[in-house]
Structure 1
Amino acid sequence: MTPDAVLAAFDAQIRRHPGPSGPHEVVERADGVVRILSAGWAGVTWSDLDGSTADAAIAAQVDRFAELARPWEWKHYSYDEPSDLAARLLAASLAPEPAEALMVAEIADLALDVSPPSGIELLAVTDARGVEALVRVHDDVFGGDHSELGAQVLAALSQDPPGAAAVIASFEGTAVAAGRVEFREGTDFASIWGGGTLPAWRRRGVFRSMVAHRAALAAARGFRYLQVDASPDSRPILRRLGFVELATTTPFVFPG
């Protein structure tokens, strides 16, 4: 894998040309930015700015999302221009959340036969009951209310072909971890999200087996790369599995 070439492909296919992933998602292009409006998320995914255009473009996004009266975020990447874009976002009252590492692996280079630890069964999420279990795990691991995520997963599962797949790691009938993989049709990239594991089950190989499982699902759908926005806790595991860090991404959130 050539990191610069993969980053350029990711920028072009995922950030600059995001395809609607559901019936209620809209992509807008104006003021040198690409933004997404959906039931679950709203924000800027890509920008082409410089020192003379950035402030006006930021102000235009604040005005646009004010019309919607909802929170939104500007997904900033470390290679975005101008180089002081993050400072300009701060000056416009957008607050940074914890940065994550943009990591990508070529699926052909990954080991896909990683078994879960003894006693753990990986179960496909196929219906509302499975989605409820996924939401419970996310609520317990990450805090907050993930019911809207559950609605998004159900909608993605109902598409033809499905826009995502989700998996639960179960021990004696109880979900101890959950995650999903999103299929970006028309691109080389699938992306994995979640992967939350209850504290008692961490460092046992559950997360690693769930990554391999979702990579296998993406391979079966014909995707070349697997992408993840990785937290500090997951980065070492992903590096050992063969993922490469390409950039840093930081959500800058406007409260709405």
Structure 2
Amino acid sequence: MPPTTAPAAALLALYDREVRRGARPEGPDDVVERVGRVVRRTAPAHGWNGVVWSGFTSADEADTAIADQIAHYTSRGLSFEWKLYAHDAPADLGRRLVAAGFTPGPDETLMVTEIDEAALTAAVPDGVRLVPVTDPAGADQVAEVHERAFGDDASGLRRLLLDALTATPDTVVAVVALAGDVPVSAARMELTPGTSFAGLWGGGTVPEWRGRGVYRSLIAHRARIAAARGYRHLHVDASPRSRPILRRLGFTELTVTTPYVYEPARAR
């Protein structure tokens, strides 16, 4: 990645402060704790468990905190993720996580845009309609798209989405794109009250519909909703496939993020 510009550095600092250090629970069974120089989220097994921020001042402090988080989650029988950003300290934190038994996943790029500057006029392709997801049938369609687009089991995603739609409907927006009655793309947006950022997640399109503008229309659709609710920025962890599209829509690359996953059964 090119060196971070001054405006991008300021935006990254705002993101760290509001989204990471200021993380908030995302559901009734979601607990956010600030323990020393770590912010962690503990949720049910089908939810997202992990470290969202750390601010260590020494390598020894990092090693102690890593051991503490492993003890916290494994005592509950939970796998968890340490979401590492390229600017996190110490510089060898990733190596220390691997040494402690974590497995790194594919890198993604944190991209952010001010909604006023985003390209919000992407049209929905002919033959496609965007439908809000509000019930189990819609959650089934989101899960179907996810499994076809990414090849992953989406049962946990379906349950997590239903939990949010039931308990905290004001914090999640989900939408599915239908070609006729067939789901061909889907995405969601997470809204955190008290912050200026809305998060775009899970955007996926089935292979035969890629390259037709469906993904862009889902971004624009969610951006308009976020703007109407008073959010100023959109953020997304972009894959190599989505990064060029987001760049054309006005998103800026801020840093690289890597998921380090700890599986208790595998680490013993």
The interval holding the TM-score normalised by the smaller chain is over 0.9
1:186-197 aligned within 5 A: 186-197=194-205
Q: 2 CA distance for matches of 1:176 and 1:196?
A: 9
1:228 corresponds to which residue?
Answer: 236
1:27 corresponds to which residue?
Answer: 32
Are the counterparts in 2 of residues 72 and 253 from structure 1 also a CA contact under 8 Å? Answer: yes
2:17 corresponds to which residue?
Answer: 12
Q: 1 CA distance for matches of 2:162 and 2:168?
A: 12
Give how far 1:109 is off: 0.6
Give how far 1:117 is off: 1.2
- Percent identity between the aligned chains? 48
2:216 corresponds to which residue?
Answer: 208
| One-letter amino acid of the counterpart of residue 155, structure 1 | D
| One-letter amino acid of the counterpart of residue 34, structure 1 | V
Give how far 1:160 is off: 5.7
Are the counterparts in 2 of residues 31 and 60 from structure 1 also a CA contact under 8 Å? Answer: no
Structure 1 unaligned spans of 5+:
none
| One-letter amino acid of the counterpart of residue 149, structure 2 | V
1:58 corresponds to which residue?
Answer: 66
Q: Which moved more, 1:151-160 or 1:48-57?
A: 151-160
Give how far 1:220 is off: 1.1
Give how far 1:57 is off: 1.0
Give how far 1:111 is off: 2.3
1:105 corresponds to which residue?
Answer: 113
Aligned match of 2:51 in 40, 44, 51? 44
Q: 2 CA distance for matches of 1:160 and 1:133?
A: 20
Structure 2 unaligned spans of 5+:
1-5
Are the counterparts in 2 of residues 13 and 187 from structure 1 also a CA contact under 8 Å? Answer: yes
| One-letter amino acid of the counterpart of residue 42, structure 1 | N
| One-letter amino acid of the counterpart of residue 26, structure 1 | V
SS of the equivalent of 2:174 reads: strand
1:251 corresponds to which residue?
Answer: 259
Q: CA offsets, 1:140-186, max 9 Å, x none?
A: 11223212222222222234661111111110110000000110111
Q: 2 CA distance for matches of 1:129 and 1:81?
A: 44
Q: 2 CA distance for matches of 1:7 and 1:202?
A: 30
Give how far 1:52 is off: 2.9
Are the counterparts in 2 of residues 114 and 208 from structure 1 also a CA contact under 8 Å? Answer: yes
2:3 corresponds to which residue?
Answer: none
Q: 2 CA distance for matches of 1:160 and 1:237?
A: 30
Give the RMSD, CA atoms, in angstroms: 1.3
2:122 corresponds to which residue?
Answer: 114
Shift in CA distance, 219/204, structure 1 to aligned 2, threshold 3 Å: same
Q: 1 CA distance for matches of 2:102 and 2:94?
A: 9
Q: 2 CA distance for matches of 1:63 and 1:157?
A: 32
TM-score by length of 1: 0.97
| One-letter amino acid of the counterpart of residue 47, structure 1 | S
1:166-181 aligned within 5 A: 166-181=174-189
> How many matched pairs?
256
